[in-house]
Amino acid sequence: MTFAEKLDFLMKITNTTNSVLARNISMDASFISRLRRGLRTPARNVSYLRAMAEYFTRRCTAEYQKSALREAMKSSFIIDQPQNINNLVELLYKWLMEENEAGPDVINEFLNDLSHFRFTDSAKAVDIQKQHCKTVSKVEEYYGTEGKQEAVLTFLSLVLQSKSPQTLLLYSDEDIEWLTENREFTLKWANLLAQVMKSGHKIRIIHTVNRDFNEMLAAIREWVPLYMTGSIEPYYYPRIRDSLFRKTLFIAPETAAITSGSIGSGTKNAVNFLFTNKKTIKALIEEYNDLLSRCRLLMHIFTPLSNNKYLALLDEFEGEFSNTIIKTDNLTSITMPFEVVESVLAKTESPLKEKLLVYQQKRTEKFLGSLGKYHFTEILSLPQMKEILAGKVMVNFSDLLNESSIFYTPEEYCRHLHNIIRLLKSHNNYHVCLAENKHLEGSMIYVREDVGVLVGKAMPSSVVFAINESNMTVAFWDYMNHLINKEAKVKLDRKHTIAELETIVAKLEEVKAI
């Protein structure tokens, strides 16, 4: 049984409604509904699963209910023994947890979207803007779904007419069918928003997500094209809300604001207000900031335009010692020997060159120090020999530091492999998994257990998302272990790995000698 089927079964035999269960475990009734219909899957170890188990145990007192439970759970547990019946909370909890972790497919889809993302021409957006440019009064009223769509397009068109860039403040926990049910409108919205970003405006957005991994990743996926610009600050509200009273706030501080409210999912007949009055906009900004003060940053976003900040965060991230797994297309810079770092940086005109050399020395010291206690595992897919010899192997994320990609010479690549072999021979906690095929080429995952995860697009133009939200960290950690332990084409054998790397080094040295 899937989790949705189990939950639906438990709710039916206990005659429990979505709202009753939500009230008893301090959750949102609409979220319970999504879980029950299979639209959401709980992340690993979320607290509400135990709360569910405790609730259903209290409600399963009749013999027919216990009989139904025995029948449903018999493939998983022996529950007709007295000690097991008395510990029904734990049994139910384990049953709900079965096959309940965020599956690899969810992360696969996200990484595939990320690694294949390309900016496209949005020329049509100019015509869309003209369609919605009009003089508006201090207060405009728009009704229902179509009215909300018209209000939003007018709002974005007014922003495009503004004389100077500003930071848009966005929040909505209303039913999003107004955004997704009409594909023509969705394309218009996306085009106009892309034009807004290209015009130099920035966005501060509070995502409506529960502390559920799938919810958060879905929110990130929807905004990937705009995240790639590096001009968005994403936040989330960490506490559970009942979603009875819902609200939308779209604010351009110098231009206009949209606000609307609804009960539950009832947005079809709701009124939406568009304000251009400065005093009203100021009041709505204060309301937004009050909500923002209760939120947390969902993630940091780094592009080649924010390389200084990326280095600072990477230093902090790697300063937290923990078991680590990293997957990239090419060799990771943390194992690059210092002489290769010097050689690579000599090819750049980066003003950060000296800073990078000092940083790499400290980084190597921390890395080697951590290997005394913690495991560090790399999942590597090696390039073909002809690519190495042709100097076509890119140094990972080099465009983040240099604004253009840097490539290994065959000698630099050979020396880097030498260092990896040395690390494998001298540090038992350092591991390399050689993957026969590149898994989701173009993407990178760098996760430190119980610390956080860096996930990004490794091909130019690179982008890195830095996340420390606990459920997302756990889900990516489990995903990486899945790659190591479950996929037949990933090998984890120290002697085999060393032999394979030494074979490549020998071939490179043989070519060099010729």
- Give the CATH number, domain containing residue 13: 1.10.260
Query: What pLDDT is attached to residue 268?
Result: 72
Q: Which of 247, 273, 298 is the last residue of a domain?
A: 298
Residue 111: pLDDT over 80: no
Between helix 3-13 and helix 88-97 the angle, nearest 10°, is 140
pLDDT of residue 97: 79
What confidence score (pLDDT) does residue 475 get? Answer: 80
Residue 370 has pLDDT above 80, yes or no: yes
The CATH number that applies at residue 122 is 3.30.870.10
Give me the number of domains the chain comprises.
3
pLDDT of residue 395: 87
Do 494 and 383 belong together in one domain?
yes
Give the CATH number of the domain where residue 435 resides.
Answer: 3.30.870
Q: Binning pLDDT at 50, 70 and 90, where does residue 126 land?
A: very low
Largest CA distance in the chain: 83
Q: Of the candidates 464, 484, 443, 485, which has an alpha carbon nearest to the alpha carbon of residue 328?
A: 443
Residue 454 pairs in a beta bridge with 446, 466
pLDDT tens digits, one per residue of 230-272: 788 988 887 766 667 889 999 999 999 999 988 876 667 789 9
β strands within 180-331, DSSP E = 202-207, 232-236, 245-252, 256-263, 271-275, 296-297, 300-302, 324-327
> Average pLDDT of the chain?
82
144 shares its domain with 233: yes
115 and 228 in a single domain? The answer is yes
Cβ–Cβ < 8 Å for 420, 501? yes
Among 86-90, 330-334, 429-433, which stretch is predicted with the lowest mean pLDDT? 86-90
pLDDT digits (tens, 9 = 90+) for 185-233: 888 888 898 899 889 999 999 987 654 566 567 667 767 777 777 788 9
**Contact present, 255 and 159 (Cβ < 8 Å):** yes
pLDDT band at residue 44 using 50, 70 and 90 as cut-offs = low
pTM to 2 decimal places: 0.69
Q: How many CB atoms lie within 10 A of CB 59?
A: 17
Higher local confidence (pLDDT), 85 or 501: 501
Name the H helices within 199-346: 213-227, 278-292, 307-319, 338-345
Same-domain status, 253 and 351? no
Average pLDDT (462-471) is 81
Domain of 232, in residue numbers: 105-298
Same domain, 313 and 231: no
Q: Which pLDDT score, from 0 to 100, does residue 486 have? A: 62
What sign results for the dihedral spanned by CA atoms 380, 383, 389, 391? negative
At residue 123, the pLDDT reads 41
Q: 440 with 352, same domain?
A: yes
